[in-house]
A and B are shown apart, each in its own frame.
Chain A
């Protein structure tokens, strides 16, 4: 780049920053939106199944039945509606007001009393919500196992499983949702905002005026990239501060690792934004493409909410080229585990590679022609 090129680049960056400072929509996307998303995922959304509403039909009044019922009532995982006949509670399940129905039949006590008799209870769950259904099943089994152990004459099982949840011992979904939200915010700034601001230049005819000056395509792209790269880092800092101080998410890794990761992720995110705006030259189309190709996949297919391992192979293949996937995995490490440079460097390498591909395509698409 010539000396004139340096001057032009600085002038373009200064212009971009002045516009950023004056444009309320930049602030909405870069600062207000992260806040809203963090609040939404920090407070509003919880994937933990605590106090699931269930029904308990205690058709037997014998003492063993009563003590089992008491165990369910004492469980923190359930809010129990009790009854004495399953027919009273079935409408509640059909109406979706309870998620499961446990039936302790009237033959329950008799069977226990009979030597070698195996008592039975029935669990009916709402198969329309399979995740909740299987959670409830596991909890019910847990309660049952606990109860059995406390019965007089219970034989200790040969093997007992002691479960520990590493990295997120309280199993708080907030702890992994908040780091994921930071990735979503970075996608919004990198891809959506960048695509919009360049499309706006085409729409308002300022791109035409820029292109008719001696400025090069590289300078135009760099003049956009650098300011939004810095804006992305600033927004990351704000979001991290909120995550740690407001939501109490642990930051077990270093701030340095977080910055390096974010910087690596911004390359493909910005590259995607530039590519979109080079193809779609109006803001409406650019925002639609950015939402469909950037935001939605980052939201749904990156492992942010749905686990990648449980996706069908075709979808898993798509998620393999999603920058957000690698970012989210490493972000969760930094927040919940610490600086695991081994796997993180691998993710950073993939992010930089994806970034090079997107930026290369964007350069090709942004020739100095209309």
Chain B
């Protein structure tokens, strides 16, 4: 059956429709796709695109309303158990029993999957070696790090060597180092002919897949090799250098140009995608607004550029939010300051001697693996956690002694949608206005202003939890900025969000920064890190590097990697820190 020219089809779905609830739009809308053996197939798309639904359908956990699913020669609707014996499935959060040890988890899944007892020792040895978990067999799964849990989840799915391996967002909550390691492991599996389905919201991760199925709002937008999608915009992608300190205002101005499809901040430069032009090719002249020293240089297109092209280009909205503000006066002292912030939990030092100061109008990023201490530092700086030593200051107020004043000057937007889901959009705004002490006419005026700025009028009276993701995001930002804070704290604000919503969000943020608002963002999402003016890289509770994205990239540039990405820099710096530690 298998030959080199046409790889074996392991699974095929045709005309799948899946609905949850009669009135809701379908979670999957007439999706047809094939999964091949020996390849990594990416199910790619933002949150709510239908990735998990498709994954669960393939694992026989859901039944479709319409369409057919054939997996490994079986009709999945009729014989789910026969298929489940042949596949491996790792759900989100890995499906591990946290109160069982590593060995007990393996035992359980070995028995459930019917691994012959005689083969157990051999298979365990192989998997424990493969995942490097041999030292931790007696540790409770709940006490493993995110990356180790992910590997154990993978090992449990691999116990009875599956022919098809389904991994649902395996890289969520896992730092780039562990993510890269997992990727290498999965690639080794495809060498044995196993077909792997890997769902992800990260487009840079999708780029490395052999095949991708790109989903958006339940519809399949593209199926094929990632390079083919990127190819759509070949010759139209450029990096605009030489705009230095004005890159945010420049971007806002030039995005209005009709020939531009997309533009984002990338470090100190701007990455621009042009619409297909009639004259076809050549490097266009830099937009006049970019100034005399600006230069365009062609760069390789990415999957995300192709995605944006499929979606018809970025929305061209300036930030009405920024327009509503008066620029904050320049000031010499920093807006956010960490002065030797330290947090100990018992013997464990979660953050040690954090020092940085963020001047007005800067975007500062805290970057680091899970558990490195970035959230701890972040929480100390917004007054949610009391430091063991050191001091955090916002707008000149000490968080420990003048907490209320300091907190009144900052806005906070949590990672996941953290508003009141059962209240309407307007009620959420009114509540937060009240919390921030706005009263009477001012409160009403500010709520109406936010509704106008964020274009929430159409949904103002709808229940917040039922809003589409993009609106939720806007509402969360509106609630965080309605009291006009000097400093805005963002915790992974756009992870899992589609590229258009992400651009819109950062458009607002860029606008705020232009008006003098200071931004502190924690993330391990490289696209978000690129928006930062400076980044502090945090690892094992310590700051191991600090600088602009360009400076960090330069530090890991080498002959074999002259143009490293920010992720390369992240991993390189962490590995260097590990090596230093090992040597010491």
* Interaction A to B: yes
Interface residues of A (CB under 8 A from B): 4, 7-8, 10-12, 14-15, 18-19, 22-23, 204-206, 208-216, 368-370
In the complex, besides A205-B91, A208-B91, A209-B109, 10 extra interface pairs with C-beta distance below 8 angstroms are: A11-B108, A11-B111, A14-B108, A15-B97, A19-B97, A205-B93, A208-B95, A209-B89, A368-B60, A370-B61
CB distance from B540 to the nearest CB of A (A): 28
Residue in B closest to A213 when the chains form the complex, CB atoms: B112
CB pair B93–A204 under 8 Å, yes or no, is yes
CB distance from B170 to the nearest CB of A (A): 13
Alpha-carbon separation in the docked complex, A284 to B156 (Å): 29
Alpha-carbon separation in the docked complex, A15 to B112 (Å): 11
Task: Collect the chain A residues with CB atoms within 8 Å of residue B68's CB.
Answer: none
CB pair B113–A213 under 8 Å, yes or no, is yes
Task: Collect the chain B residues with CB atoms within 8 Å of residue A208's CB.
Answer: 56, 61, 91, 95
CB pair A215–B112 under 8 Å, yes or no, is yes
Segment with Cβ contacts to A, from B99-107, B425-433, B553-561: B99-107
Residue in A closest to B166 when the chains form the complex, CB atoms: A212
From known contacts A7-B111, A22-B99, infer whether A15 and B104 are also in contact, taking CB-CB under 8 Å. yes
Set A18, A23, A214: member contacting B113, Cβ < 8 A: A214
Residue in A closest to B97 when the chains form the complex, CB atoms: A206
Set A15, A212, A215: member contacting B89, Cβ < 8 A: A212
Set B96, B97, B111: member contacting A10, Cβ < 8 A: B111
B395 within 8 Å of A by Cβ? no
Task: Collect the chain B residues with CB atoms within 8 Å of residue A12's CB.
Answer: 108, 112
B396 within 8 Å of A by Cβ? no
B62 within 8 Å of A by Cβ? yes
Alpha-carbon separation in the docked complex, A289 to B111 (Å): 33
CB pair B99–A212 under 8 Å, yes or no, is no
From known contacts A19-B99, A206-B97, A369-B63, infer whether A214 and B114 are also in contact, taking CB-CB under 8 Å. yes
CB pair A210–B112 under 8 Å, yes or no, is yes
CB distance from A154 to the nearest CB of B (A): 75
B501 within 8 Å of A by Cβ? no
Residue in B closest to A206 when the chains form the complex, CB atoms: B95
From known contacts A4-B114, A10-B111, infer whether A212 and B100 are also in contact, taking CB-CB under 8 Å. no
CB pair A368–B80 under 8 Å, yes or no, is yes
Task: Collect the chain B residues with CB atoms within 8 Å of residue A209's CB.
Answer: 89-91, 94-96, 109, 156
Most buried by B among A8, A206, A211, A213: A213
B92 within 8 Å of A by Cβ? yes
Task: Collect the chain B residues with CB atoms within 8 Å of residue A19's CB.
Answer: 97, 99-100
* B174-216 at interface with A (beta carbon < 8 Å): none
B34 within 8 Å of A by Cβ? no
CB distance from A27 to the nearest CB of B (A): 13
Listed A/B pairs (25) with beta-carbon separation below 8 Å: A4-B114, A7-B114, A8-B111, A8-B114, A11-B107, A11-B110, A11-B111, A15-B97, A15-B104, A18-B100, A22-B99, A204-B98, A205-B93, A208-B95, A209-B90, A210-B95, A210-B112, A212-B91, A212-B95, A213-B84, A213-B113, A214-B112, A368-B80, A369-B61, A370-B56
Set A11, A18, A22: member contacting B112, Cβ < 8 A: A11
Task: Collect the chain A residues with CB atoms within 8 Å of residue B111's CB.
Answer: 7-8, 10-11
CB pair B99–A205 under 8 Å, yes or no, is no
CB distance from A328 to the nearest CB of B (A): 34
CB pair A211–B61 under 8 Å, yes or no, is yes
B415 within 8 Å of A by Cβ? no
Residue in A closest to B91 when the chains form the complex, CB atoms: A208
B402 within 8 Å of A by Cβ? no
Residue in A closest to B156 when the chains form the complex, CB atoms: A209
Set B84, B92, B94, B98: member contacting A212, Cβ < 8 A: B84
CB pair B114–A206 under 8 Å, yes or no, is no
CB pair B61–A18 under 8 Å, yes or no, is no
Alpha-carbon separation in the docked complex, A12 to B111 (Å): 9
B87 within 8 Å of A by Cβ? yes
* B45-98 at interface with A (beta carbon < 8 Å): 56, 59-63, 80-81, 84-85, 87, 89-98
CB distance from A253 to the nearest CB of B (A): 39
Alpha-carbon separation in the docked complex, A209 to B95 (Å): 5
Residue in B closest to A212 when the chains form the complex, CB atoms: B89
Alpha-carbon separation in the docked complex, A210 to B112 (Å): 8
CB distance from B99 to the nearest CB of A (A): 5
